[in-house]
């Protein structure tokens, strides 16, 4: 298990847990990011946001947020 | 005299709400502002089958929690202005994420039509959507559209009037949360039912929002308790 911010471009991972308060967890869930979701990392170059592919759409997060999402390799 | 109907357009960001809005209203639109909140609202109108239909384009949201000002604006419009119909513009190529909002609208107690937009994109991705079955499961009409090519606009106009006239049911399916949560919901519902809030809002919806620890609703219930 590792933070999403450590994953590399092109990698596919699965969300294991989200280390944040319920309000933020809820916000991510609203956008389809829930534990168990499979994610492909489209881009994670610094500086710049983390671009993810999930559930057939794209989601853009900051590195700080990505650091709170724990993932496992698929 | 023609009857007036208010229709709210809701949907995820980038699902084509404004395109649908422009298709429905043509060139007769004007831009307005919400008092106090820096979120833009567009209003326009058209006539159909003897009705004056006023269309309100709401900000794009993923859900109806009280997370951001645009969500609060969208939710309060539906709760307080009580539009006759809410059209939820759904990106057909991204059904799973988009239907989450449809469920939230349904729980609010609104009459909802799903405008299944971007059918061409869904088809190019080889998705096959069973529109009839989707409509049956959700308990609301589903209108397939390609808003960018102005396809489905007439169907949507007709469906709006059909819903207002009660020819098509649009109250939505009943969503169950399982034994544990349902137990809590009905316990809270029982308490809420005797409060004045229950006259304005559905006790079930209030109970669900309390369990979600929705700040706005928790505040409203606390205030109500003092009345």
Out of A26, A27, A56, name the one closest to residue B94 (CB): A56
What's the pLDDT at B24? Answer: 92
User: pTM of the prediction?
Assistant: 0.85
Of the candidates B50, B59, B51, the residue with the CA atom closest to the CA atom of residue B17: B59
- Angle at Cα B17 formed by Cα B34 and Cα B124, nearest 5°? 160
Predicted confidence (pLDDT) at residue B31 exceeds the cutoff of 60: no
Contact between A26 and B96 using a beta-carbon 8 Å cutoff: no
Contact between B63 and A56 using a beta-carbon 8 Å cutoff: no
Please tell me which residue, B156 or A22, carries the higher pLDDT value. B156
Q: What are the structure tokens assigned to B209, written together?
A: 């929002």
Q: What is the pLDDT of residues B123-148, one digit of tens each?
A: 999 999 999 999 999 999 999 999 98
CA distance B79 to B198: 13
Distance from CA of A39 to the nearest CA of B (A): 14
| Position B174 confidence tier, pLDDT thresholds 50, 70, 90 | confident
ipTM of the complex: 0.71
CA distance B139 to B133: 10
Distance from CA of B136 to the nearest CA of A (A): 23
Mean pLDDT of chain B: 87
Contact between B93 and A30 using a beta-carbon 8 Å cutoff: no
Q: What is the pLDDT of residues B46-82, one digit of tens each?
A: 999 999 999 998 888 888 887 777 888 888 899 889 9
* DSSP assignment of B77-137: IIIII--SEEEEEEEGGGHHHHHHHHHHHHHHT--EEEEEE-HHHHHHTT----HHHHHHH
Residue pair B53/B46 in contact (Cβ under 8 Å)? The answer is yes
């Amino acid at each position: 298990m590792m933070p999403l911010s450590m994953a590399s471009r092109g990698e596919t991972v699965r969300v294991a847990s989200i280390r944040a308060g319920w309000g933020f967890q809820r916000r991510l869930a609203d956008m389809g990011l829930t534990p168990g979701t499979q994610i492909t990392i489209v881009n994670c170059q610094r500086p710049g946001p983390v671009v993810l592919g999930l559930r057939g759409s794209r989601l853009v997060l900051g590195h700080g947020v990505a650091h709170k999402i724990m993932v496992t390799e698929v | 005299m023609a009857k007036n109907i208010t229709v709210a357009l809701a949907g995820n960001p980038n699902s084509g709400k404004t395109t649908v809005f422009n298709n429905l209203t043509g060139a007769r639109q004007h831009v307005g502002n919400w008092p106090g909140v820096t979120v833009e609202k567009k209003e326009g109108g058209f006539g159909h089958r003897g009705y004056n239909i006023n269309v309100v384009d709401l900000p794009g949201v993923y859900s109806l929690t009280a997370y951001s000002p645009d969500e609060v604006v969208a939710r309060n419009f539906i709760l307080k202005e009580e539009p006759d119909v809410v059209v939820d513009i759904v990106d057909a190529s991204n059904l799973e994420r988009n239907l989450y909002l449809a469920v939230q609208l349904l729980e609010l107690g609104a009459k909802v039509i799903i405008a299944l937009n971007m059918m061409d994109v869904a088809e190019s991705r080889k998705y096959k959507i069973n529109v009839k079955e989707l409509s049956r499961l959700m308990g609301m009409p589903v209108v397939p559209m390609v808003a960018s090519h102005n396809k489905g606009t007439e169907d949507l106009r007709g469906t709006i009037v059909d819903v207002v006239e009660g020819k098509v049911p649009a109250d939505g399916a009943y969503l169950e949360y399982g034994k544990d949560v349902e137990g809590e919901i009905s316990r809270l519902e029982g308490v809420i039912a005797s409060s004045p809030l229950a006259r304005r809002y559905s006790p079930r919806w209030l109970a669900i929002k309390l369990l979600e620890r929705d700040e706005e609703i928790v505040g409203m219930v606390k205030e109500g308790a003092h009345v």
